[in-house]
Chain A
Amino acid sequence: MTIEFTLTKRQEELRSAIGSLARNVIRPQSLGWDRAHGIPEEFLLRFTQMAASMGGTAGAWGVQGLGATGEEASESAEKKKKSGGAMVSTVVAAEELATGDPALLLCLPGPGLGGPPVRGSGTPEQRERFFSVFKDMSAGLKWGAYALTEPGAGSDVAGIRTSCRKEGREWVLNGRKCYITNGARASWNVVFATIDPSLGRAGHRAFVVEKGTPGFSVGKIEDKMGLRASETAELVLEDCRVPEENLLGGEEKYQTKEGFLTAMKTFDNTRPLVAAMAIGIGRAAYEHAVDFVKERYVLSRPIPRYAAIAERLARVGRDLAAARILTLRAAWLADREIANAKEASMAKAAGGQAAIKACMEAIEICGAHGAVAEDQQLLEKWFRDIKVYDIFEGTGQIQRIVISKRLMPDLRSF
């Protein structure tokens, strides 16, 4: 125990390897992916293989929960000390990778956001069954997804209306889910539904709904402002018949408020990760602006005068650094298995905010060049990509509600 902020040698190597890959291999392709609304499968396959060959566990690649198979769920204390902490490595790697292209992380094959609830609440049999889907992707890439949001309920998770009722050995689901990342391509979606909306959270049930289940279909694929390479789908459940073995955790799990808690537990672990991704995009924009100022002001003018721009740049760098340390702290707490809901929300809120500011400032500092010039179009893309980081996985306001509740324990709700 001692206050220090240097990465382990292993983490540093990983960071620099991922960083150079992100900037030299991924970034040059990212505008094309944006325009094509997707990342070619052969690239995703090659990328996944490369990650494995570099010896990084999926966790260390910043894809824990987004691409992990769920096997490396927990490290021993001994291993943790040596590795510098799996979650710390994850956020470090995720930031680097996002400097290349943020959508890539969302597109990686694997259980995605569906991983944590299956890992956390699934029975051993369910974990085996649903994760085994991802063991062999030689015949084609496979994804999992997480379907909570509905047209009528996003932030207000307790207000979902998708219904479920038991009929014999099956559950019958009815409703619509929207904005589901990888929802259409997913081999299975973790779908949240309610047995009775008046029960609130206690009425929630989580199901693993497999592709091809009768009554399950894909609706609209969204056309988005940014993250256009990532698929965002609407899911339709019309008398969708799910076998009872697919009720996550089995029936006894829901005697308590567990069902809802399962949904929320996902976020405590993924919020720092999403924060790290946001910081990566913000950093890319910031570094772009730094290079621009260096070239256009510092090196090309006899008497550089840029105090006002220097201050703006400094504040962007500062706010990204602030968000980064909050993110590292949330990750460090997670590695030590200390409750981190408040810190995870701080990281997420600060990360989204700082990165949005970074992209806006960068585009203003670079002026027209930032919005139109051919060589600057990444800036324009990052500006579009970043906004959603203050929306998904809980908006900035929702993060503040989480923080407020931790600060004032008898606060009910707003």
Chain B
Amino acid sequence: MIDFEPTEEQALMVTAVSQLASKLRERIRQTERDHGLPAELRLAAFEMGLGGGVAVPESHGGAGLGLVTAVLLDETLAVGDPAAPFALGGPGALAGALHELGTPAQASEWLGKLSSADRCGAVAWSEPRAHATRAGFCTTATRSGDDWVLSGVKAFVLNADRADAFVVFAQVDEAAGWAGIGAFIVERAATGLTVGERKVTLGLDAVGAFDLKLDGVKVGPAARLAGGEDFCRSALRFFVKEALKVSARAVGLSQAAFDASLEYVTNRRAFGKPIGHFQAVAFTLADRAMDLEAARHMVRRSASLWDAAATGAASERDALLASAQAVSMSLEGAMRAGDDAVQLHGGAGFMRDYPVEKYMRDAKQLGLCSMTKEQADQLGAAVALGVALDPAVVLPTPDLQAVFT
């Protein structure tokens, strides 16, 4: 049955997270300057169950609340500060990677270890450049007896400074191209692992992006994430679900930008009336409202299809297609929302007295954090056309870059 209404339990959680979001909103500039959330708010978020494991099944050490709950909470939090969901304590994106790629035991172990407001996990997928002569990652994982040795450089690793553990993607079989990739859990303390300088970024300043250097980092056999029957397919699932969470944050951002715009155009007067009472302004607002509503429900619908797919009640194909469309819509929508919010504020929008310039910068950065909308469109078309899902096209390969939290 078609239903747009959250469960009572979800509604209660949303209310609680919404209160936290208001506090985040008050300190949005401080968070940006400090490059991180205020410690007490990070703790508060963690105590509300935010931290990465919301949608991970209990069998894998998560809360088992489903992806719908996860996107509802991320959206709500992002209304307060779009950067906040990236800067929480707990396993973060690593939780999703372990769920899709690891065994229940591996996932439970690491979700348990990272389950604290002061701890953090990170995912290292991207690389500075594509390999010159073959498909796949430049970073390699080679056998040394039972162990694996990782060498290479990963790029744009979000939260690498705070992370206690990483899921690192590397080439296991150099001859096999994208079909030859693998993933490993690497601890922060591992010998040969170094975190580079924090990059200066356009937006989302509450979270840092770093290079991660692996110089002959040795890990045991238990560190390998097997990735189920089809590693690339599992990786795709991970990416798409992660992208949906980022999309939920984009929706939260759009809502915040919309709220700010509506308030401003209602109060700001020109030519004798509120500027919102000019048609060009009002129609802009109406268009953003439409984008926002559509994106919000597309993200929720996609999440609900993944939750249904987990029990066989929906097909993975439907979930993939809906997700690709939701990601494209919400990322594009957030960019428009940020841009129009600045535009409707006029010169004031350019000033840091108002939050809208940050929303605009954050929106651009959000669009580069998991899947880009271009990748989402390629995925959407591939599913619609019924062609085989070529990892080089549907996964964000290093030519295209993706960063994670």
Contacts and interface: CB of A to CB of B under 8 A. Distances in A.
Task: Decide whether A and B assemble into one complex.
Answer: yes
Interface of A: 1-8, 81, 84-85, 88, 290, 293-294, 298, 304, 307, 310-311, 313-315, 317-319, 321-323, 325-326, 328-329, 332, 342-343, 346, 349-350, 397, 399-401, 403-404, 407-408, 411-412, 414
A5 B286 contact: no
B286 A314 contact: no
B343 interface: no
Given A294-B386, A325-B298, A318 B3 contact: no
The CB with the most chain B CB atoms within 10 A, among A5, A321, A343, A349, is that of A5
Nearest to A345: B286
12 contacts: A3-B72, A294-B386, A310-B378, A314-B379, A317-B384, A319-B329, A321-B298, A321-B322, A321-B325, A322-B295, A342-B289, A414-B279
B313 interface: yes
Contact of B377 (A8, A304, A310, A412): A310
A346 B291 CA distance: 9
The main secondary structure of chain A at its interface with chain B is: helix
Contacts of B380: 314, 317-318
Given A332-B2, A343-B293, A397-B283, A322 B298 contact: yes
Contacts of A7: 1-2
A406 B157 CA distance: 43
Interface majority SS on B: helix, strand, loop or mixed? Answer: helix
Lowest 9 A-B CB distances belong to which pairs? A310-B381, A314-B377, A322-B294, A404-B282, A314-B380, A403-B286, A318-B325, A314-B381, A400-B286
Interface in B313-328: 313-314, 321-322, 324-325, 328
A350 B290 contact: yes
Contacts of A326: 290, 293-294, 297
Contact of B384 (A307, A313, A323): A313
Interface in B49-96: 68, 72
B381 A1 contact: no
Interface in B366-381: 374, 376-381
Contacts of A310: 377-378, 381-382, 385
A329 B4 CA distance: 7
Interface centre among B72, B293, B308 (most CB of A within 10 A): B293
Contact of A315 (B265, B279, B377): B377
A1 B377 contact: no
A180 to B, nearest CB: 29
Contacts of B6: 1-3
Contacts of A404: 276, 279, 282-283, 285-286
Given A4-B304, A317-B384, A400-B287, A88 B324 contact: no
Contact of A411 (B3, B277, B377): B277
Given A318-B377, A325-B294, A407-B289, A2 B283 contact: no
A346 B290 contact: yes
Contacts of A411: 276-277, 282
B7 A1 contact: yes
Given A5-B305, A403-B290, A407-B286, 6 more contacts: A1-B3, A84-B2, A294-B387, A319-B329, A343-B293, A400-B287
A4 B3 contact: yes
Nearest to B282: A404
A70 B386 CA distance: 43
B301 interface: yes
Contacts of A403: 286, 289-290
Contact of A323 (B10, B294, B386): B294
Interface string B382-394: 1011110000000
B289 A325 contact: no
Interface in B105-164: none
A5 B381 CA distance: 22
A6 B328 contact: no
Nearest to A311: B377
Nearest to B387: A298
A7 to B, nearest CB: 7
A308 B387 CA distance: 16
B5 interface: yes
B300 interface: yes
Contacts of A407: 262, 282, 285-286, 289
Contacts of A325: 294, 297-298, 301
A294 B291 CA distance: 30
B310 to A, nearest CB: 13
Interface in B258-300: 262, 265-266, 274, 276-277, 279, 282-283, 285-287, 289-291, 293-295, 297-298, 300
A329 B293 contact: yes
A6 B290 contact: no
Contacts of B40: none
Contact of B385 (A84, A293, A332): A293
Nearest to B258: A407
A7 B2 CA distance: 6
A2 B293 CA distance: 18
Contacts of A318: 324-325, 328-329, 377, 380
A294 to B, nearest CB: 5
A317 B321 CA distance: 9
B301 A5 contact: yes
A408 B264 CA distance: 12
B132 to A, nearest CB: 21
A15 to B, nearest CB: 12
A88 B265 CA distance: 35
A350 B262 CA distance: 21
A2 B3 contact: yes
B191 to A, nearest CB: 43
A412 B282 CA distance: 12
B383 to A, nearest CB: 9
B7 A2 contact: yes
A311 B4 contact: no
B8 interface: yes
Nearest to B11: A1
B277 A3 contact: no
B344 to A, nearest CB: 13
A4 B314 CA distance: 11
Contact of A349 (B3, B10, B290, B321): B290
B262 A408 contact: yes
A311 B2 contact: no
B293 A346 contact: yes
Contacts of A323: 294
B378 A6 contact: no
A346 B328 CA distance: 19
A400 B300 CA distance: 25
A314 B324 contact: yes
Contact of A329 (B1, B262, B282, B297): B297
B325 A408 contact: no
B277 A322 contact: no
B382 A3 contact: no
B286 A2 contact: no
A8 B2 CA distance: 8
B277 A307 contact: no
Interface string B321-339: 1101100110000000000
Interface centre among A307, A311, A314, A350 (most CB of B within 10 A): A314
